[in-house]
Amino acid sequence: MSSPDRVMIDRRAFLGGLGLSVLAVPLTADAQPAVKVPRIGFLNPSGPAPAAGFIAGADEPLWIKLRSEPYLVVFMRHTHSTGGNPLTWDETGNCRGEVVLSANGKAHAKKIGDAFVQHGVKPSRLISSPMCRCRETAQIAFGSNYVTDAALREIASADAERTAAYEKTAVSLIVKHLGNAPVVFVSHRPNINLLTMELIAEGDLLIGRADEKGEIDVVGKMRIEP
């Protein structure tokens, strides 16, 4: 298996070859890249039972994976924000001048957290971008016990050095916290795309399996509507 540094180079080379047209259009269920075909698992009757009152739906195979399989990561974007310059970051953590969640975004974040509770899935660790809209999403959905790092902020328009620092830090944190329960990674569209080669919308939950080197194999995607 290639080293993490080689993996970062290969991914960036692959993404560059896709062209700007790919980055401009979110992937749909009918247009997944050939190299990442979602594989939806079968029901596992022996897996932990969902919370009382839950009604099984089309996404239940993925929820069962999250309840019963190790080394999974849930990638999600922050929910709806108020708008503004998405790259503005207040290093003090006080959100001055930053994009923050709208009222709809806060309600959506709570709905996502409620879905995890209803399906009996408790993340082992939260990892969040330090930017306020992501920290708000993580805290409202899952609580304040998250880890973050300055390198995890949005990388849109970032130079190659900062992009590489983001990927190295993100992979290191994911690998560090892998376990029997899923890690939830709250971030930005370009940041998630770099790690998974998938573009996701607000409310999408992209589930991947990570190995000891931080390689992500996407196993499926589901959506929590606002």
Q: Which residue has the tokens 């999403």?
A: 137
pLDDT bucket at 57, cuts 50 / 70 / 90: confident
Q: How much is the pLDDT for 17?
A: 46
Cα 89 to chain centroid distance, Å, stands at: 20
pTM exceeds 0.85 for this model? no
Q: How much is the pLDDT for 83?
A: 86
| Stretch (H or E) spanning 216 | strand 216-223
Structure tokens at 131: 């930017």
**Residue 20 pLDDT > 50:** no
pLDDT bucket at 25, cuts 50 / 70 / 90: very low
In Å, the largest CA–CA distance within the chain is 49
Judging by DSSP bridges, how do beta strands 183-187 and 204-210 pair with one another?
Answer: unpaired
Q: How much is the pLDDT for 40?
A: 33
Please say whether the dihedral angle defined by the alpha carbons of residues 78, 83, 87 and 88, taken in this order, is positive or negative: negative
Please check whether residue 209 is in contact with residue 217, taking contact to mean a CB–CB distance below 8 angstroms.
yes
Please check whether residue 50 is in contact with residue 102, taking contact to mean a CB–CB distance below 8 angstroms.
no
Cα 13 to chain centroid distance, Å, stands at: 22
**Residue 45 pLDDT > 90:** no
pLDDT bucket at 56, cuts 50 / 70 / 90: low
